[in-house]
Amino acid sequence: MSDQKYLLGIDISTTGAKALLINSQGEVLATATTALHLSMPQPLWSEQDPQEWWQGVCESVKAALTQTNLNSADICAVGLTGQMHGLVMLDENGTVLRPAILWNDQRTSAQCDQIRRLVGKERLIAITGNDALTGFTAPKILWVKENEPDVFQKCRHILLPKDYIRFRLTGEYAMDRAGGSGTILFDLEKRDWSDEILHTLEIPREWMPPTFEGTRITGSIGLQGAADTGLNAGTPVAGGGGDQAAQATGVGAVRPGVAAVTLGTSGVVFATTPAALVEPQGRLHAFCHSIPGRWHLMGVMLSAAGSLQWYRDTFAPDVSFADLVAEADFIQPGSNGLLFLPYLTGERTPHPDPLARGAWVGLTALHTRAHLTRAVLEGVAFGLRDCFELLRSAGLETITEVRISGGGARSRLWQQIIADVLNVELKTVNTTEGAAFGAALLAGVAVDVWPDVDQACSETLTITGAVQPLAENQQLYQHYYEIYKTLYPALKSINQLLSA
């Protein structure tokens, strides 16, 4: 390794714009986050203002810099990460044409059906690795074309959220391949845009930016970007990765056999693959990794820790999360016959259904708040189990290690429940900064602080804890999981009626 270097990771999540400074030992020197606002102008819609992202980045970068004695010239590279799938449309001058349509927006069911008709579902999955789902970018583009033709006519550039930040920093139109594959406009195996998909959907090829591996330099900080953020003009900006690929890098899930569970607002099960593996029905997402020559399979449940957040805010707003979860620790596994479906905002894996709804099933007068709390924790664990079962059916039967991160992972009880339900050992690492940390590591590889991502992870990450599954809970949770799997099909028609 070279002498001490300093790296900046920038993460545009749904809730905040984060800046993270680390050194070449992986020590976190400073972190700052500026809150972002979410707009829901109609039911099922979810939007944000890209200009607010930029303002948030500027504030967070300046705040992080003031926490250290570093000069901005000491930072040798910047890495980017952020929410995937969001649609940012710019005109020929780089001006934003409309609010960004986000990953959790559900307005595009008709456009998903249209994509399946035009391309063919099997052909779509064969090329992109994915079925057409409402969260992805391609159906959003078609929605704008059909519903806002004036915006579509003015469009000349399409970017993802973090790549809009890249544009503001560098003046360059570019996209990392992990993020690009999440648009479902990508040829997964070739790791670049699919001319066939773009032609079939009549999306101009010239609107799509050049794509880069996560460890490649995509440009450098321009004069305006430097003036707005306080960074040094000329600082290299690396490709980075979509939030989940960068998160996996940030916890060391970078090689086959090591999976990652992220227990954030959404719940993610992530497994690196050495080739472009595809789940035949498209129930798992198959994307490029942020690491050159590697791919990943990913299952996503839309409301993981988000389920606990909703539950606490709705039923116990004056109780801390720690106290609420502590009550559940006294309840036996299985919550006395109470099951929770965590489909509060629809679902993606294994049921790509925006009309799926949450439920408690088995509720009696004997159940207390503590039972309901534990049922929420267990319901999320069962949802993660659904993702694991699909990974195994797709051929990833040998997962030797699972690394868990995210806000929900701070709960030891929740870790234990997940370990029991999945029947795996869960491990934690020495950083909880996740995607922003991963983006900083990718930037370090881009400027030769480390020779590759494997080396970057081995030199900066250590295992800090492990939770073993309890044998006495295995059979009981298996029994409840078998019942849990019957609930979605049993309630599907009822949820459709209620949604109508």
**Candidates 243, 353, 386, 420; catalytic one:** 243
Active site residue 243: yes
**Which pairing describes strands 285-288 and 295-301: parallel, antiparallel, or unpaired?**
antiparallel
CA atoms in the 13 A half-sphere facing the CB of 165: 34
Instruction: Please give the torsion angle defined by the CA atoms of residues 304, 308, 309 and 312, in that order, rounded to the nearest 10 degrees.
Output: 170
Sign (positive or negative) of CA dihedral 466, 471, 475, 480: negative
* 238 within 8 A of 80, measured Cβ to Cβ: yes
- The contacts of residue 345 (CB under 8 Å, 6+ apart) are 104, 106, 302, 303, 306
Sign (positive or negative) of CA dihedral 419, 253, 427, 14: negative
Catalytic residue IDs = 243
